[in-house]
Amino acid sequence: MDRAAAETTALDTFASRSGVCRDYSHLLVSLARAGGIPARCVSAYAPGVDPPDFHAVAELWLAGGLAADRCDQDGDVQ
């Protein structure tokens, strides 16, 4: 399966254990929402990428505060 395909689902990412930042964000948001945690996918500028480019980020509302995932410029989760 093409990991950059727009049709990749959260289940595809979970089963294959691979993907790009968008795939990981969709997976995290899906799992959070299934657990009753408010979450959304957003786009942000990725630091350290030249030329500047967008990065998919999952935001979760936890304990009254906002938490976001953290990936490096290669898309590896930190």
Which tens digit of pLDDT belongs to each residue from 18-65? 888 889 899 999 999 999 999 999 988 877 777 878 888 899 998 877
Measured between alpha carbons, how far is 71 from 56 in angstroms, rounded to an integer? 9
pLDDT higher than 80, residue 69: no
Helix (H, G, I), strand (E, B) or coil at 47: coil
Whole-prediction pTM value? 0.75
Q: How many helices (H) and strands (E) does the chain have?
A: 2, 3
